[in-house]
Amino acid sequence: MNVAAPQSPFLRWVYGGYMFAFFIYLAAPLTAAGVFAFNDSLFPSLPWNGFTLDWFFNDTEPKLGMFYDRRLLRGLEVSLYVGLIVSALSVAAGTCNAFLFERKEFPFKAALHVLMIVPLVIPGVILGISILVFASIVANGVEETMSWDWDMLRPGLFLVILGQFSFLTTITSLVIAARLRKFDIALEEAALNLGATRVRVLATVTLPYLAPAMFSAFVVAFLVSFENFNTTLMLVGSDAPLTITMYDRMVKVGSTPVLNAVSVFLMLGSGLLALLSVVVQRERKQP
Amino acid sequence: MFRSDASKLSLILLMTPFVLWIGLLIVLPQLGIGYISLREKVGPREYELGLANYIDFINEPIYWNTLLRTAWMSILVTALALLVGFPVAYYIAKIAQQRSRAALFLLCLIPLWVSDLVRAFGWIVLLRETGVVSGMLQTAGLISGPVELLYNDVTVVIGLVYTVVLFMIVPLFSTLDGMDNSLLEAGYNLGGSRVTVFRRIVVPYAMPGIVAGCIITFMLTAGSYLTPILLGGKNSSWFTEQIYDQFITRYNWESGATFGVLLLGFTSFVVWLGLRLTGQSLANTVAKE
């Protein structure tokens, strides 16, 4: 008998019903976004006119599929590009931070650790505008003193990358540090005693041990970067990532089933990536 | 001697990326908006330091009403998310069978991996005038004509709770998962009723999770942009929308930065208050995820 569960059958039934309702609530909007990608209609709404894949693969207006829609494809490309760069950078910085906070002693360590977490609790919009403002202060300063136009610091992909990097690094640092904390330092000592150099120990013992955590940090960073909207919106220039392109389309054209198709694509994509990361995690549990 | 030099060198090498990151992307930019917010325009390309932007904010009821509204709605959403999320976390951690537990937990996490935009879009497809719910209600004969369910506060709250409830469930689940059932048994054996046991044992035990969840959901709600705008329409009066408007549409960086500072100040104050009242620390709660 589970002491935590309600004792009367009626209450147990009510509780079960609540859980069921909750999962319906979770699934409803995602299902709605997904299902209408396959409806043979110009609007993502009832009635159901039959199954079609046109919103993915059709190459003519008015039912231009997402894989023939230049702007959406361009957005996808930009998102992939930004996501890969940002994840690589934030995993690299996160690994350094993990070593810094797990292995080193230095003054104000506790305060700096709090500072490391802070980016997670700053609203994304504020991160965006603050980086926008700071970059343009720097750019104006450079322009005035050296009369050198630093285009990079104007809204555009470089700033988008910096903006996403600023909070993703916190996430990767925490993930990698958690793994490093569990590392048995005796393994390193053994390798050192056997005559390995520090660099060699790092490359052959410590980093391979961290690899699964680095991989999941990469996946998480990539997914979050791909989905990010708030920070990106403030920093974006003419080249827009997919979420921004999609939002533009939604506001200017209104909802069309091609957006449902993109939603399906995104759900499948992130589902697969999340699954991959779970599989990698599971493998590392088996000795 | 050599060893300590090497370790000093490696400390400096590891410190550099951290300092560059926090310094250039977090601290200096925040100081930057603080500085811009104190700058008032007195002529073309002429500025003076002063509090004029803040005084403008106080003198314009639309602005501070929006901030108050955002604050009030965020607190409401946080409370609702706790109310909705707690039973779910409790069920998964304590009641579900060991085997189905992981599956239920993963099921909870799925929407987390879908962009805000897709979720909001899903709600639009469901709730707009020609949407699924309106259509179903008509077919069922409950209403005679199409009904617009978007663009009102209830929908915005439902959408926001949806967006943030997972961030409430995850920390709650991880604290409740660590709770030993024998604590509950002891409570019952000592004659506690279900309510007493819940109030005196379960809630205090789950407190770190509750605080963490509330902080994260509050920050996410107050800083959210897409959900209130897409579900609330043009008149959603959300504070982040004001910030965007000042910055990008009106190009009035001075007042945009002022709003930014106010929003950050306000949310930090609420977080600090929450941590203070419950005796938790930031590293203990938020960083645990």
Tally the residues of chain B.
Answer: 289
CA distance B18 to B23: 8
Its domain, for residue A229, covers 70-285
Whether residue A233 and residue B244 make contact (CB cut-off 8 A), yes or no, is yes
Domain identity same for B26 and B129: no
Q: Please report whether residue B46 resides in a domain.
A: no
CB B56 within 8 A of CB B255: yes
B44 found inside a domain? no
Q: Which residues pair with B39 in a beta bridge?
A: B49
Structural domain count, chain A: 1
pLDDT digits (tens, 9 = 90+) for B208-230: 888 888 888 898 898 888 888 88
The pLDDT value given to residue B1: 42
B54-57 contact pairs (CB < 8 A, 24+): B54/B258, B54/B262, B56/B255, B56/B258, B57/B255, B57/B258, B57/B259, B57/B262
- Among chain B residues, the shortest Cα distance to A226 is held by B115
The answer, yes or no, to whether residue B2 has pLDDT greater than 60, is no
* Total beta-carbon pairs less than 8 A apart between chain A and chain B: 241
Does the pLDDT value for residue A63 go beyond 80? no
For B2, the domain range is: 1-37
Could you read off the pLDDT of A188-203 as tens digits, one per residue? 888 888 888 888 888 8
Q: What is the mean pLDDT of residues B253-279?
A: 86
Angstrom distance (rounded) from CA B268 to CA B273: 8
Note whether B146 and B193 are within 8 A (CB): no
Confidence category of residue A86, pLDDT binned at 50, 70, 90: very high
CB atoms within 10 A of CB A9: 8
| B169 & B263 share domain | yes
- Given pLDDT bands bounded at 50, 70 and 90, which one contains residue A80? very high
- Per-residue pLDDT at B289 exceeds 50: no
Q: Does B150 share its domain with B9?
A: no
CB contact under 8 A, B11 and A233: no
Q: Are residues B113 and B15 in the same domain?
A: no
Task: Answer for the pair B221, B280: CB distance below 8 angstroms, yes or no.
Answer: no
Nearest to A283 by CA among A155, A154, A275: A275
**Do B28 and B103 reside in the same domain of the chain?**
no
pLDDT beyond 60 at A109: yes
Distance (Å) from the alpha carbon of A67 to chain B's nearest alpha carbon: 18
Q: Which of A167-181, B86-100, B235-249, B263-277 has the highest average model confidence (pLDDT)?
A: A167-181
Task: Report how far residue A15's alpha carbon sits from residue A2's, in angstroms, rounded to the nearest whole number.
Answer: 14
CA distances from B117 to A29, A98, B125 (A): 11, 32, 12
Looking at the fold, whether B176 and B33 belong to one and the same domain comes out as no
pLDDT of A286 above 60: no
B250, B63 Cβ separation under 8 angstroms: no
pLDDT for the residue B78: 94
Q: Which of residues 57-86 of B touch A (CB under 8 A)?
A: 84
Tens-place pLDDT, residues B168-187: 888 888 888 888 888 888 88
Average pLDDT score over residue span B197-206: 82
pLDDT of residue A95: 92
**pLDDT at position A285:** 55
CB nearest A30 (choices: B29, B114, B287): B114
Do β-strands B39-43 and B46-49 pair in parallel, antiparallel, or remain unpaired? antiparallel
- Chain B closest-CA separation from residue A71 CA (Å): 17
Number of domains in chain B: 2
In terms of domains, do B179 and B280 share one? yes
Cα(first)–Cα(last) distance of chain B, in Å?
40
> Tokens for A286?
């088996």
Q: Which residues of A touch B119 (CB under 8 A)?
A: 29-30, 33
Which pair of structure tokens corresponds to residue B165?
Answer: 């409830």
Q: Kindly report the average pLDDT of chain B as a whole number.
A: 83
Residue A283: the pLDDT is 65
pLDDT at A287: 43
CA distance A130 to A136: 10
Residue A9 lies in a domain: no
Task: Answer yes or no: do B120 and B1 share one domain.
Answer: no
Give a yes or no: residue A126 inside a domain: yes
Query: Does residue B87 have a cis peptide bond before it, meaning omega lies within 30 degrees of 0?
Result: no
Asked whether residue B155 falls in the same domain as residue B267, the answer is: yes
Secondary structure (H, E, C), chain B: CHHHHHHHHHHHHHHHHHHHHHHHHHHHHHHHHHHHHCEEEEECCEEEECCHHHHHHHHCHHHHHHHHHHHHHHHHHHHHHHHHHHHHHHHHHHHCCHHHHHHHHHHHHHHHHCCHHHHHHHHHHHHCCCCHHHHHHHHCCCCCCCCCCCCCHHHHHHHHHHHHHHHHHHHHHHHHHCCCHHHHHHHHHCCCCHHHHHHHHHHHHHHHHHHHHHHHHHHHHHCCCHHHHHHHCCCCCCHHHHHHHHHHHCCCHHHHHHHHHHHHHHHHHHHHHHHHHHCCCHHHHHHHC
Q: Does some domain include residue B45?
A: no
For residue A130, being part of any structural domain is answered with: yes
Q: For residue range A238-262, what is the model confidence (pLDDT) as tens digits?
A: 888 988 988 888 888 777 788 888 8
How far apart, in whole angstroms, are the C-alpha atoms of residue A157 and residue B50? 34
ipTM: 0.84
Q: Residue A181: inside a domain, yes or no?
A: yes
Is a pLDDT exceeding 60 seen at residue B82?
A: yes
CB count, 10 Å around CB of A116? 24
Whether residue B26 contacts residue A169, with contact meaning beta carbons closer than 8 Å, is answered with: no
Percent of chain B topping pLDDT 70 = 94
Q: How far is A60 from chain B (nearest CA, A)?
A: 24
Does B286 score more than 70 pLDDT? no
Which structure tokens are listed for B90? 């409790």
CATH number for the domain spanning A199: value is 1.10.3720.10
Place of tokens 């810094």: A100
A243 lies in some domain? yes
Strand partners, B48: B40
List pLDDT tens digits, range A116-165. Answer: 888 888 888 899 999 999 998 888 888 888 777 777 788 888 999 999 99
For residues B151 and B265, membership in a common domain is answered with yes
Judge if B238 and B169 occupy the same domain: yes
Q: In angstroms, how far is CA B77 from the centroid of its own chain?
A: 9
pLDDT of residue A165: 93
Contact A123 B32 (CB under 8 A): no
Reported as a single tens digit per residue, the pLDDT across B126-156 is 888 777 787 777 777 777 777 777 788 888 8
pLDDT: which is higher, B154 or A61:
B154
Residue A58 in this model has a pLDDT that exceeds 50: yes
Helix axes A109-121, A70-103, angle to 10 degrees: 160
Measured distance CA(B72)–CA(B65) in Å, rounded? 10
> Which among B15-29, B104-118, B224-238, B264-278 has the top mean pLDDT?
B15-29
In whole angstroms, what separates CA A138 from the centre of its chain? Answer: 28
Reply yes or no on whether the pLDDT at A59 is more than 50. Answer: yes
Give yes or no for residue A227 having a pLDDT over 90. Answer: no
Chain A interface includes B183 (CB < 8 A)? no
- Rounded-to-5 percentages of helix, strand, coil across chain A: 75, 0, 25
Which of B95, B110, B115 is opposite residue A243, by nearest beta carbon?
A: B115
Taking CA–CA distances from B212, the nearest residue in chain A reads A121
For residue B175, being part of any structural domain is answered with: yes
B180 to chain A, minimum CA–CA distance in Å? 10
3-state secondary structure of B46: strand
Higher pLDDT, B18 or B40: B18
Residues 6+ apart with CB under 8 A from A17: none
**Average pLDDT score, chain A:** 84
At B284 the pLDDT is 61
Q: What average pLDDT does the segment B117-130 reach?
A: 84
Residue A36 falls within a domain, yes or no? no
Cβ distance of A129 and B26 shorter than 8 Å: no
